[in-house]
A and B are shown apart, each in its own frame.
Chain A
């Protein structure tokens, strides 16, 4: 949003300045003392989320007893959380980078449909089921690329560019599938991804691996530091020599890839590809990211927070299901959680910025 400064492009700054700004962006919030420092530390920042999750689990254990505290039930929660979780990890990058993506659900639908067309499935049967995974990921990356280019080089507001993709991708999914639900005939795909590996559901493995990669990418690589720098202050990042536009495109591509992975996960879980898949995932993902402590304005956020955000919502759903409560009550509870979480974070944010 702050990148329409048409000032003359700077000469490439010296490398050390570059490093200094990135370090400064990363080190923000580490110079306070006492309570504030604790609250800004990884544990402190996620403390509210951990407490919220524990409270939810306590409520679940009290109200549903053994039916909640049960390995099978935990697995059910995690399997359910895995798909929206993968999307949310990708969304975390885009939002930290100062953007937003409303098209994730539509991309999930399109990639599931594209990966299950008769042509793709026939080809996959002739070669290998991984081809379907590749197609889904490629479709996701393609959509992300379009989003990114429209935002970075087309100078469209992310909200608008991805709104266009939101409409177009689902429409295209319906055209390709002729508005029908496409069954997966390649059983290996369903049996593998919807099956188990080392006693744990493969869907959960994928969520875990994507989260781990996301954490490393954000916290241990230049890519992650640049993401924080771009989202925190695009102009400063540009002056520091970061190719802001190219980086923005990459962020949307990362999210697109995540959507492609989620698309093939959903395809395996349901055994179908459909234009109706992934409805309202954009809202679920954004909500999970925001209650996970990522600022919607960009520049700050954590993968761990997002994972907690996802888990909180899906555990809530599970507790409600176990207690026979209806979805309308659940929607009200979700709304309340979002408000409380954001209000709490604002207090922490105000405190830390006051004391600098």
Chain B
């Protein structure tokens, strides 16, 4: 018979509603926002140096911003600082399509921006080469593309490119390591490296720079492991590394997000005989430097996309950079990768991001 009592369903419905109602209360407790949040340092460090009035409101521009999935602190900081930067200007209308590691999806996001006819696109691609085709199409449609951090494979794909210096990071770390060896007169130093995801060009560049700088002072990397930028993988790989090398003098860890796990592994094993150098410059790392638990970290600014937003605004408004003589925004900007240690950490605290 097809006649059924609907009771079970109704009971199911009632309990479902109850569960959701209970859930609604719980949802209120998921907030992780501190009550008061400091505005990012955008205003204070404002680029009003040239006195050219670049920050004066101009004609309103629509900027499309797309970045990869914020699956670790650095990328989250990239997205957040870009959005905050856009909000600090009254003449920017920001369209964000953040959050994917799927090139196919990110391509469709850029296509959406093209359809909408935005004035400029700031693009941190999930992979530079994979987004090149669509970036070229945007440029052909007359929309300037600002390429952030992961470079396209064609010079026709971007109006301006702003990059952190991964190779330079490795050089800075290696040079600093050489300095430590000399200053502390370490004989036959054991040098270890905890890399990030090995398949990424950025990791390969960092490792290459590190090896080159070490070579300059006659050293090589003795032990190397690769983690995946996550806390979990950092802990696991650092534990492996400590097992493999009973005595280490210098460790360079590429990334401070995975560094939280790396540090945990050090603490678990009770090892601190080495100089611990980090990478990226998270708030944690800066705290550790101030507490004397970490020697230094090599900065890789998470504010690149924020700079990308500024450049996009200038380009869309036909302005140049006020501190340069040039009429137009340069095509390529490579950021410095300075060493942050106890001597200068104060200067960089405002760039530190939460892991």
Contacts and interface: CB of A to CB of B under 8 A. Distances in A.
Interface of A: 36, 67, 70, 72-73, 76-77, 79-80, 83-84, 174, 179-181, 183, 190, 194, 266, 269-272, 274-277, 279-280, 314, 317-318, 321-322, 324, 326-328, 347, 351, 354-355
A274 B126 CA distance: 12
Interface of B: 1-2, 4, 9, 69, 94-105, 107-109, 111-112, 114-116, 127-133, 153, 198-199, 201
B166 to A, nearest CB: 15
Contact of B127 (A76, A77, A181, A347): A181
B9 to A, nearest CB: 8
28 contacts: A36-B2, A67-B116, A70-B115, A72-B114, A73-B112, A76-B112, A76-B115, A79-B108, A79-B111, A179-B199, A180-B199, A181-B153, A266-B103, A269-B107, A270-B130, A270-B133, A271-B129, A272-B129, A272-B153, A275-B199, A276-B199, A277-B103, A317-B105, A318-B112, A321-B97, A326-B98, A327-B100, A354-B4
Contacts of A347: 9
Given A76-B115, A181-B130, A326 B2 contact: no
Contact of A270 (B95, B100, B104, B111): B104
A275 to B, nearest CB: 7
Main secondary structure of the interface of A (DSSP, over half): helix
B327 to A, nearest CB: 33
7 cross-chain pairs, A with B, having the tightest CB-CB distances, nearest first: A327-B99, A179-B199, A80-B108, A270-B130, A72-B115, A271-B133, A355-B2
A180 B100 CA distance: 19
Contacts of B108: 76-77, 79-80, 314, 317-318, 321
B112 A270 contact: no
Contacts of B99: 326-328
B102 A279 contact: yes
Contacts of B103: 266, 270, 274, 276-277
Nearest to A194: B133
B130 A272 contact: yes
A355 B2 CA distance: 5
A174 B133 CA distance: 22
Contacts of A84: 104
Q: Which of B109, B114, B129 has the most CB of A within 10 A?
A: B129
A321 B109 contact: yes
Nearest to B197: A179
Contacts of A280: 102
Contacts of A179: 198-199
A269 B99 CA distance: 20
Contact of A271 (B105, B115, B132): B132
B2 A80 contact: no
B141 to A, nearest CB: 11
A324 B96 contact: yes
Contacts of B98: 326-327
A270 B108 CA distance: 11
Contacts of B127: 181, 272, 274, 276
B130 A274 contact: yes
Contacts of B201: 180
Contacts of A351: 2, 4
A133 to B, nearest CB: 18
Contacts of A36: 2
A293 B49 CA distance: 62
A182 to B, nearest CB: 8
A79 to B, nearest CB: 7
A277 B126 CA distance: 11
B115 A73 contact: yes
A209 B330 CA distance: 46
Contacts of A269: 104, 107, 133
A89 B2 CA distance: 34
Contacts of A266: 103-104
Nearest to A265: B104
A341 B130 CA distance: 34
B104 A183 contact: no
A73 B115 CA distance: 7
Given A83-B104, A354-B2, 11 more contacts: A72-B114, A76-B115, A179-B198, A194-B133, A266-B104, A270-B131, A270-B133, A276-B101, A314-B108, A317-B108, A322-B112
Contacts of B128: 181
A328 B96 CA distance: 13
A282 to B, nearest CB: 13
B133 A190 contact: yes
B351 to A, nearest CB: 23
Nearest to A178: B199
Contacts of A180: 199, 201
Given A76-B108, A80-B108, A67 B129 contact: no
Nearest to A270: B130
Given A72-B115, A76-B111, A321-B112, A271 B97 contact: no
Contact of B104 (A67, A77, A80, A324): A80
A346 B127 CA distance: 41
Nearest to B65: A324
Contacts of B116: 67
A341 B307 CA distance: 44
A252 B306 CA distance: 47
A179 B2 CA distance: 59
Nearest to B131: A270
Q: Which of B98, B108, B109 has the most CB of A within 10 A?
A: B108
A67, A271, A275, A277: most-surrounded residue (chain B CB, <10 A): A271
Contacts of B102: 279-280
Nearest to A77: B108
